Amino acid sequence: MKCIINGKVVLKDSLAENLAVVFDDKIQKIAELKDINTADYEIIDAKGKFVCPGLVDMHIHGYLGADVSDGDAHGIKKMAEGIIKNGVTAWCPTTMTVSKKEIEDAFDAVREVKNSTEYYGARILGVNSEGPFINPSKKGAQAEEHILRPDADFILANKDIVKLFTVAPEVDGALDAIEKVAKDGSVLVSMGHTNATFEEANKGIEKGVKHTTHLFNAMTALSHRNPGVVGAALSEENVSVELIADTFHIDKGLFGLIAKIKEDKLCLITDCIRAGGMVDGDYTLGGQPVHKEGIKCLMPDGTIAGSVLELNKAVANILENTDLEVFEAVNCASLNPAKALGEDKEIGSIEVGKRADFMIADEKFNAQMTILGGEIRYKGE
Ligand SMILES: [Zn+2]
């Protein structure tokens, strides 16, 4: 068995020093270092760095030139191995509003990788199907010609692999679809790319919406006379929200306010596209051209097209721009998404019995080491 020592251990409700974390593929023991005989274990010295739970990215389209919507298993493996270096140990490959055939091919490619018994990188929890049941007026970077009327049967026919999906609650047929998927209970329903009023959003929530796709982006804004989808998502305490905390999609001045309101319902995501981890230049998103410059990705008409954010960087951004404690900021990218996805019995925090998924990170949350199911899968310089 292995044992991590000399770290600042990021527990779900505190930051603790002088602890030893003992694990095989699961966490077996968390004890005071003085109560452990280190000779019994393979020792990993964290050298004073943060020992965090492995991060969970529930919304990521691409990385290192690959895109989930390509429907290519090799590309999905490349992403899974790439994001390990950012401390991500579990993720939801995310499809775009592309043609139904392309979405189905992407589902199949994710199935193939997820069902592989060989190591492929960060563990796949299931697909995040972003669309195609969205409102054309809030399509953002999604392709309008592929938008479809909400269809619960399409989601339920793929519930073996789909973990969550996005729907605009105000479009024709949405409420019935939301109700049907929510009743089944195996797929998380998220509202997004939506032009709903506050009332329409609340109707969606009544029918079973429990999550919000990238809060603020591609939805009706919060205004004092029209609280919109943002107002509904912030008001309803059982609804979790995703946030692209790259400081460009959302002004950093709002991070603290959102964290205060949503508490353990705030889930940091990357919404990263294939340009992530790549040099500045021209790329595509769902077949549409995108230009990356620094932290920005724009379509030719200026529409924001996903991000190139990395999840450990999102944690650093939240910490830098709020007065959250380290454990609270880390929870936003580990325990909170794990809870939203119903995976928190297995992953999301450093607790006995959970999977031995860790990120050892420096003060800026650069991953120094990533451990997946007890195996060291990444080691920085
Ligand atoms: Zn997205």
**Mind listing the domains of the chain with CATH numbers?**
2-51+350-379 (2.30.40.10), 55-340 (3.20.20.140)
With bands split at pLDDT 50, 70 and 90, how would you rate the model's confidence at 288? confident
- Cα-based distances in Å from 266 to 191, 263, 284, 318: 15, 6, 29, 11
pLDDT at 291 over 80: yes
Residue 147 phi/psi, 5° resolution?
-70, 135
Distance CA 378, CA 381 (A): 10
pLDDT digits (tens, 9 = 90+) for 154-203: 999 999 999 999 999 999 999 999 999 999 999 999 999 999 999 999 99
What's the rounded Cα separation, in Å, for the pair 231 and 287?
33
Quote the ligand 1 centre to 311 CA distance (angstroms). Answer: 14
Q: Spell out which residues have Cβ within 5 A of ligand 1, the ion.
A: 130, 271
- Contact between residue 204 and residue 178 where contact means Cβ atoms under 8 Å apart: yes
Compute the distance from residue 9 Cα to the ligand 1 centre, in Å. Answer: 31
The rounded distance, in Å, linking the Cα atoms of 102 and 116 is 21
Residues whose CB falls within 8 Å of the CB of residue 77, separated by 6 or more in sequence, listed in order: 113, 120, 121
Q: How far away, in angstroms, is 125 Cα from ligand 1 center?
A: 17
Q: Report percent pLDDT > 70 for the chain.
A: 100
In percent, how much of the chain has pLDDT > 90? 94
pLDDT at 281 over 80: yes
Q: How confident is the model at residue 378 (pLDDT cuts 50, 70, 90)?
A: very high
Average of per-residue pLDDT values in the chain: 96
CA of 128 from ligand 1 middle (Å) equals 9
- Sorted by sequence, the CB contacts under 8 Å of residue 264 that are 6+ apart come out as 331, 335, 336, 339
d(CA 27, CA 354): 6
Q: Is the pLDDT of residue 286 over 80?
A: no
CA of 307 to the centre of ligand 1 (A): 9
* Candidate list 57, 151, 246, 271, residue with the active-site label: 271
Compute, in angstroms, the gap from residue 227 CA to the centroid of ligand 1: 23
204-250 pLDDT, tens digit per residue, is 999 999 999 999 999 999 999 999 999 999 999 999 999 999 999 99
State yes or no: is 323 an active-site residue.
Answer: no
Residue range 100-150, pLDDT digits in tens = 999 999 999 999 999 999 999 999 999 999 989 999 999 887 888 899 999
Q: What is the largest CA-CA distance in the chain?
A: 65
The two tokens of residue 376 are 């060291």
Question: How many Å from the N-terminal Cα to the C-terminal Cα in the chain?
Answer: 24
